Amino acid sequence: MIRSVAGFFVKIFFGFFLRIDKKPLHPDLEKACRLYEEDSFTGLFSRIRVWDAPFEQVEKLVPKKGLILDLGCGDGLLANYLAISGPERKIVGVDLNKERIKHAQKGLKNTRFIHEDALKEKGLSPDVIIMSHVLHHLKSFEAQDKLLQDCIAGLRKGGKLIILEIKPSLSLEYLVTIVVDYTIYPMLFEKKIIGSRVYYRKEGNWVNLLSSCGLNVKREKVTGKPFSHMILVAEKSRI
């Protein structure tokens, strides 16, 4: 019931903005979205995600070859987009939501989606680990620290950790982000009317944390999106 109400609101509210903003997508991103059209809700949600999140910008930061781990991949839209735009990439998507993992399976040969802790899988040493809007949904700042430590330990030497996160700021975009994270997100994916606390960090705090772990951190500026985003690229030492 809760999800149905939220789904109706999403279709009305975001559908309005999607009809207004008809910017053409990159052909590969368009192909990825079309993989989800067999289901009306996931089809609409995929369109909302590419409208509100800088996936094209993230894709440019990912090497065209190598093992790419998408932690918290959800319905797998970003993972499938990366697979389409880079056929020589090997993409592994991971999520704790079994239903969303089922939606992620689109039959692309260079993808694998699993419902388990991929960081504990033997022999898996990714070239890149991506976390797109994952960290702020964890249960505490300590849980964020722990996941980052696990990622760094599992990442190969010279590998990259790409983090797409919410950027706290005095802006309308940040206000919209807060409303969505505390209302729409929990209704759609947690079956709650109001979500639990969301753990945002300022960009500088993320940079300091990643740097203290021995990573070389670069910031990527994000503009032209309705939500308040930041992209951080943290590289592990080759030594």
Reported pTM:
0.89
For the chain, give the DSSP string. Answer: -HHHHHHHHHHHHHHHHHHH--PPPPHHHHHHHHTTTTSHHHHHHHHHHHHHS-HHHHHHHS-SSEEEEEET-TTSHHHHHHHHH-TTEEEEEE-S-HHHHHHH----TTEEEESS-GGGSTT---SEEEEES-GGGSS-HHHHHHHHHHHHHHSPTT-EEEEEEE---SSHHHHHHHHIIIIIHHHHHT--SS--------HHHHHHHHHHTT-EEEEE---S-SS-EEEEEEEPP--
| Per-residue pLDDT at 238 | 85
Burial class (CB in 10 A: 0-12, 13-18, 19+), 53: buried
Give the tokens for residue 15. 């559908």
| pLDDT given at position 102 | 93
Find the range with the poorest average confidence among 12-16, 39-43, 55-59, 72-76: 12-16
User: What's the average model confidence in pLDDT over 80-101?
Assistant: 96
Q: What are phi and psi of 56, to 5 degrees?
A: -65, -40
Average pLDDT of the residues of the chain? 89
Q: What is the pLDDT of residue 11?
A: 58
In angstroms, the CA 208 to CA 51 distance is: 30
| Segment 113-137 mean pLDDT | 86
Phi, psi of 88 (to 5 degrees): -90, 0
pLDDT at 63: 98
Which of these ranges, 24-28, 68-72, 140-144, 229-233, has the smallest mean pLDDT?
A: 24-28
What CATH code is carried by the domain that includes residue 82? 3.40.50.150
Rg (CA), the chain: 17
pLDDT score of 3? 56
Axis-axis angle for helices 77-85, 40-52 (nearest 10): 70
Structure tokens at 51: 């409208």
Check pLDDT > 90 for residue 27: yes
Q: How many CB atoms lie within 10 A of CB 43?
A: 14
User: Domain of 185?
Assistant: 2-118+125-235
Which structure tokens are listed for 162?
A: 């790409």
Q: Please provide residue 173's backbone torsions phi and psi, each rounded to the nearest 5 degrees.
A: -60, -40
Structural domain tally of the chain?
Answer: 1
pLDDT tens digits for 44-59?
Answer: 889 889 999 999 999 9
d(CA 239, CA 228) in angstroms, rounded, equals 35
Q: Are 91 and 111 in contact (CB under 8 A)?
A: yes
Averaged pLDDT for residues 81-91: 98
Residues β-bridged to residue 68: 91, 128
Cα 92 to Cα 114: distance, rounded to the nearest angstrom: 8
